[in-house]
Structure 1
Amino acid sequence: MTESEVARIAAATLTRVGTDVGRPILVLHGGGGPFTVAPIVARYSSSHPVFAPTLPGWNGTARPEAADSVPTLARGYLDALVAEGLRDVLVIGSSMGGWMAVEMAAIAGAEEGYADVIAGIAVIDGTGIEVDGETIADVFSLDARGLAEVAWFDPERGYRGPSAFTPAQLAAQRANQETMRAIAGDPFMYNPTLASRLESITVPTSVVWGEGDAVVTPAYGRALATAIPGSDFALIARAGHLPQLERPEALWAILDGFVSTVRSAEPRRSA
């Protein structure tokens, strides 16, 4: 299975919801799967063409052997956007999806063939780089209670024990976790080369973080934002790793403005 076939499979997931006009928005989920970004899709599908793929390997979908890393998926989705004739796409990514958005912007800013594909990126509590002194929580080692403790500002609101799910749902969760481990687990939740390539990002970038995120801390988020030229950083009070689930209205107060700004922004160019 070649990387071009990864792009072919990625293209097959680019089902559009929403309007036929306006700037396209690509919404990328993290390890929790598509439901974690459903509020974002719902927010913008009334005014934009929105593409919200189920990433290969999640929710029982096929994952080609070559789709073995977040960088490979990022390139696959970039190539899929090109193949589908999509331009000026705003990419919004949550958690691992935020990492993928950053990879896409870094590739597009450094390599020929991707001019004008990406209009901007919004990174919501993303991973992807190694930050001195900031440890990414080992989510693979946590049970449901432990995951709620690190991912939610209010763990009781986020906790759902095994009894809340059917055996089929529990099996799907385990399969999703194994997919994330295969794609993002070695090295754990970051790409050793990404930090050195962030300077190639030339599009508007918004980095948004929940103040109570203990999967990747706000200090990690600030370091990521500082490393991306010209990016903005915003902190959401009383939210954890998934502010779109925990405090959506606070997220919209930030994200709506960014979406509106990107609509008329010109890409930044490296000197």
Structure 2
Amino acid sequence: MNLVVDAPSGAVEITVADHDRTRPFLLLHGGGGVPTMARFADLLASRTRSRVLLPTHPGFGGTDRPESLASVADLAGAYVALLDKLDLSDVTVAGNSFGGWLAAEIALLGSPRVTAAVLIDAIGAAVPGHPVADVAGMTPSELAAHAWHDPSRAPAPSSGPSPDLRALAAYTGAAMSDPALLDRLTMLDLPVHVIWGESDRIVDTAHARALAAAIPKSRLTVLPATGHLPQLETPEAVLAAVAQAV
């Protein structure tokens, strides 16, 4: 379904796949787009009998990104407006990679509709000595080696430049991090489960430890034999960890 929401930055149209059960989850994809989350959304909805919303971030998957959405905070505001429009409560916001950073920003907005967050291999934190890998300059084989514990399981890459990566950069900037994020997260007053792949070479486990240390009500789970996309590589382990967050 397509919904137009009145976000703080202006009217925004968001395309949302609604896996409708009861307990609501807002599931947020990373730079790889909705395909990196679609199967896990089905798994989460069917196994937990939950309502799982999987939006396409404006600018991804061939959708338009209005100029008013120029930061992660802008997009977070649009998703809080989406929750308001749907009149949802007791929402768990969960995201991978860029989606994890976005989940943190949504939680920081303090909406009473959001009661828990799950950060899965999230970018966004600036951790000294541990920069986010520059994926834009990698070959497909290099990207698979950084993102997967077992690179042979990585899907075949699409050809040509990715418009989704251009949309990602428009939200995150070239550094793909916010030096103030960890300090801001110390003020967060809701439970957050930090889930990380032990073999992630895009954002390594130093980021997981930094996020967990910054967030007062955090829990940290490190998944063995798992890279940057746990919901693809070890989905059952992620499902068990996510279920602990609510």
TM-score above 0.5, yes or no: yes
2:178 aligns to what? Answer: 191
Within a 5 Å distance, the mapping from 1:1-271 to structure 2 comes to 4=7, 8-9=11-12, 12-19=14-21, 22-46=22-46, 47-108=49-110, 114=111, 116-158=112-154, 160-161=156-157, 165=158, 170-171=159-160, 174-186=162-174, 188-258=175-245, 262=246
Unmatched 5+ stretches in structure 2: 1-5
Return the offset for 1:13.
2.7
TM-score after normalising by structure 2: 0.91
Return the offset for 1:243.
0.9
1:268 aligns to what? Answer: none
Larger strand share, 1 or 2: 2
Larger helix share, 1 or 2: 1
Letter in 1 for 2:156: R
Among all aligned residue pairs of Structure 1 and Structure 2, give the percentage whose two residues are the same amino acid: 38
1:6·1:64 contact (CA, 8 Å) conserved in 2?
A: no
TM-score after normalising by structure 1: 0.83
User: How many residues are paired up?
Assistant: 240
Return the offset for 1:53.
0.3
What is the root-mean-square deviation of aligned Cα atoms in Å? 2.0
Unmatched 5+ stretches in structure 1: 109-113, 263-271
Choose 1 or 2 for highest CA Rg.
Answer: 1
2:3 aligns to what? Answer: none
In 2 relative to 1, CA 60–133 (structure 1 residues): closer, same or farther, beyond 3 Å?
Answer: same
- Cα distance in structure 1, aligned partners of 2:42 and 2:96: 15
Letter in 1 for 2:130: E
Return the offset for 1:88.
1.4
- Cα distance in structure 2, aligned partners of 1:62 and 1:220: 31
2:196·2:221 contact (CA, 8 Å) conserved in 1?
A: yes
In 2 relative to 1, CA 196–125 (structure 1 residues): closer, same or farther, beyond 3 Å?
Answer: same
* Counterpart secondary structure, 1:122: strand
- Cα distance in structure 2, aligned partners of 1:217 and 1:96: 14
Greater alpha carbon shift after TM alignment, 97-106 vs 74-83: 74-83
Letter in 2 for 1:130: A
- Cα distance in structure 2, aligned partners of 1:38 and 1:14: 11
